[in-house]
Structure 1
């Protein structure tokens, strides 16, 4: 019997040029009271499905990144496909209430990498760049 190594079991990863491209929408929620992550996700999904329908929402490959939502500053990041960014911006502009709280979503910018979204717009710092 031939033994198979663990390296042969794993499929090869696609090179970066063949992977689907992504865009990251950095937004801020402006509201009377702090908004919980779960309420925000529900409001965004409802708006996307009402405005765009199931087909367009699925083509968007939309995802609200949970660990990048700052509940204190009410900032977050949404991932979507690059050709659907304008649809996402339009749908987010339609939100006027999240849960029972009046709120709007302000789009700060759109970036191509999660790293620049963290560094420039969310205030994360990478300490590996500094010399000793």
Structure 2
């Protein structure tokens, strides 16, 4: 089977996506891909989803933060951004998703938009709600462990124990 001539081959753009969740969340590439497909189908419908052709090319997730590169057809970047912005939960874990930028190559997307490899976090004891609790502290904010969940707090909401 012959290849298509270069002028007939599809042109791609790459979205640099950053994810953040609670410290106990574990998100895999397959589940993120599934949520991307569901979000694009729900927002854009079947024809729009097929036109955008969203595919997760690169993915990493560790210590409650992650990064991904999502491939999309040229000309469909704005609908793709809107679809990815609709993702709020993956495998039952609440997730914040941010599209940092669009690039013409994977390498440029990684260098220009994903140069920051996650935040340094540490587990500490803090006083929150007049009780000493365990929290994961990152850049002036903390995810404080309550009985069954986490509560997000800034450095003004808690004291170090």
- TM-score normalised per structure 2: 0.62
Residues 1:27 and 2:17 aligned together: yes
Residues 1:102 and 2:94 aligned together: yes
Q: Summarize deviations over 1:46-77 as a string: whole Å, max 9, x none.
A: 11111111110101122111xx2112241011
Give the Cα separation in 2 of the matches to 1:34 and 1:88. Answer: 24
- Flag the structure with higher strand content: 2
CA shift for structure 1 position 25: 0.2
- Coordinate RMSD, CA, aligned: 1.9
Written as runs of structure 1 = structure 2, the 5 A alignment for 1:62-77 is: 62-65=54-57, 68-72=58-62, 73-77=65-69
* Gap runs ≥5 in structure 2: 116-161
CA shift for structure 1 position 21: 1.4
Give the Cα separation in 1 of the matches to 2:77 and 2:98. Answer: 14
- TM-score normalised per structure 1: 0.74
- Relative contact order (C-alpha < 8 Å, sep 6+): which is higher? 1
Relative to structure 2, which stretch is displaced further, 29-38 or 82-91? 29-38
Give the Cα separation in 2 of the matches to 1:46 and 1:25. Answer: 17
Aligned partners of 1:34 and 1:74 also within 8 Å:
no
Written as runs of structure 1 = structure 2, the 5 A alignment for 1:50-65 is: 50-65=42-57
CA shift for structure 1 position 13: 5.5
Q: Summarize deviations over 1:68-96 as a string: whole Å, max 9, x none.
A: 21122410111111211110111111111
Aligned partners of 1:48 and 1:91 also within 8 Å:
yes
Residues 1:39 and 2:31 aligned together: yes
Give the Cα separation in 1 of the matches to 2:73 and 2:37. Answer: 16
Residue aligned with 2:61, SS:
coil
